[in-house]
Amino acid sequence: MFASASTLVVPLLGIFWRLDRQADSVQNWDAMPALLTAADNQDHSLHVFGGLNQLLPATEAGAPSEYFEISAPLSPDVLRS
């Protein structure tokens, strides 16, 4: 999926998270700056949020078992970005 980011020249907001056991956001985060540079994409903003899983709510451990305990559907920090 991210290989196509090297040709992406539209505004991009990249949101990554630290607490997830199903998706490796660190690996994806590491790849994005180089791909956007290769595309000469100057109009982008990349953010990494701690304490979130891939559904973007605040979570304690990032475990799938927490999905049913989440009270807010989306972290306010993500909305402010």
* Residue whose token pair is 């999926």: 1
Residues in the chain: 81
Residues in the chain, pLDDT under 70: 1-6, 8
* Global pTM value: 0.66
Contact between 56 and 43 (Cβ < 8 Å)? no
Q: Where are the domains of the chain?
A: 2-80
Per-residue model confidence (pLDDT) at position 45: 86
Does residue 9 sit in helix, strand or coil?
A: coil
What pLDDT does residue 3 have? Answer: 56
